[in-house]
Structure 1
Amino acid sequence: MPQLSLHSPLGPLTLTEEDGAIISLDWGWGRDQTETPLLCQARDWLDAWFDTPKGQFPFALAPFGTAYQKKVWDALLRIPASETRTYAQIAAEVGGSPRSVGQAVGRNPVPILIPCHRVVAASGLGGYSGDGGVDDKVWLLELEGASLPR
């Protein structure tokens, strides 16, 4: 599977493509670097997004996951930039419990592009699986102009 890495304000990130769609975004620099048209376009979009976060990722996403995980991830794509939702709100939308939503959010293989940073706990921020943990979540929410939960 072709991969392409980029430098970002959160550190190095690696995009992976399969069958014309992005299947993962990982923290760290990938071993193999292949400049496919999709990966170059996705890299350039992310570079621009980190400067001015607007718009939804315009390229195909095909993350691997269960039907329930994909349902949760689809709900995350509907959260507008600069807004947040709680795990309970997402659970009410897709069915399931806040805990099952949290597990699906934590297994999101395409963070940032599927904006799992926009999901917060009822009592505050909750966790984040990026390399910088909650600090990355705060940084992304502030970049988008979201009000941070207290």
Structure 2
Amino acid sequence: MPLHIVWQAVTDGEESILSVPLLGAELKLTMVGEIITDASWHVGCQLTNVLSPQAARVQSYLLNPLRTELHVTLLSHGSAYANAVWSALLAIPIGRVETYSGLAEKLGSGPRAIARACRNNPYAGIIPCHRVVAKNGIGGFMGQADGEFVALKRRLLEHERGLELTVE
């Protein structure tokens, strides 16, 4: 897997924000040193053209995750249950989707609990909660049932489906 995550329990230092423009939106990385403490999507904002080296690496990975390695350190957040859901999200292959109910069945949970863990994912730009959909439609994204974030979810899924996927 080209995404390598190291989980950090604590962080100390000054906070900074990195912007990663992608597909008409912006992924804002909140950093403390080299540790990402939040990675959330923002829409309807002024996109930046100047990228830091870290932001450029994240952008490169998101544009072509099958051919780009990304090493990140994330601040450990959430309950044991939320972390189990987020781990399951990382296992959904690029270009594929899973339903809330399908993921709930795999984890011995309920679809609403899965949706809540996805909504509370502090790393929505890195841990792919956009790959979880409703049985009869796209489902929500970033706490919205429709609107700009759901449109972004569609763009993310279309982008991933359009990648040249090779199965080894």
Aligning the two structures, in what range does the TM-score lie when normalised by the shorter sequence? Answer: 0.7 to 0.9
The verdict on how the C-alpha distance between 1:49 and 1:20 changes in structure 2, with shifts beyond 3 A counting, is closer
SS in 2 for 1:4: strand
Compute the RMSD of aligned alpha carbons. 2.5
- Partners in 1 of 2:108 and 2:53 — Cα distance? 37
The verdict on how the C-alpha distance between 1:94 and 1:20 changes in structure 2, with shifts beyond 3 A counting, is farther
Please point out which of 41, 45, 49 is paired with 2:57: 45
Q: Would you say 1:11 and 2:28 are equivalent positions?
A: no
In the alignment, structure 1 segments of 5+ residues that lack a partner are: 30-34
Max Rg structure: 2
- Partners in 1 of 2:33 and 2:110 — Cα distance? 33
1:70-101 CA distance string (max 9 Å, x none): 11111101111001111112112222201100
How far does residue 117 in structure 1 lie from its aligned partner after superposition?
Answer: 0.6
Which 10-residue stretch deviates more, 58-67 or 96-105?
58-67
Q: Output the TM-score relative to the length of structure 2.
A: 0.70
Is the 2:25–2:152 Cα contact (8 Å) retained in structure 1? no
> In the TM superposition, what are the counterparts of 1:131-150 in structure 2 within 5 Å?
132-145=148-161
Q: Which has the higher helix share?
A: 1
Q: Output the TM-score relative to the length of structure 1.
A: 0.77
Please point out which of 87, 103, 108 is paired with 2:121: 108
The verdict on how the C-alpha distance between 1:78 and 1:64 changes in structure 2, with shifts beyond 3 A counting, is same
Which 10-residue stretch deviates more, 47-56 or 83-92?
47-56
Q: Which has the higher strand share?
A: 2
Is the 1:24–1:63 Cα contact (8 Å) retained in structure 2? no
Aligned residues: 137
- Partners in 1 of 2:104 and 2:134 — Cα distance? 12
The verdict on how the C-alpha distance between 1:87 and 1:107 changes in structure 2, with shifts beyond 3 A counting, is same
1:24-82 CA distance string (max 9 Å, x none): 112347xxxxx9xxx732x1123213443425743122352122111111110111100
- Partners in 2 of 1:133 and 1:47 — Cα distance? 18
SS in 1 for 2:39: strand
In the alignment, structure 2 segments of 5+ residues that lack a partner are: 1-14, 46-50, 163-168
Is the 1:53–1:143 Cα contact (8 Å) retained in structure 2? no
Is the 1:82–1:145 Cα contact (8 Å) retained in structure 2? yes
How far does residue 11 in structure 1 lie from its aligned partner after superposition?
Answer: 2.3
Q: Which residue type is aligned with residue 74 of structure 2?
A: L
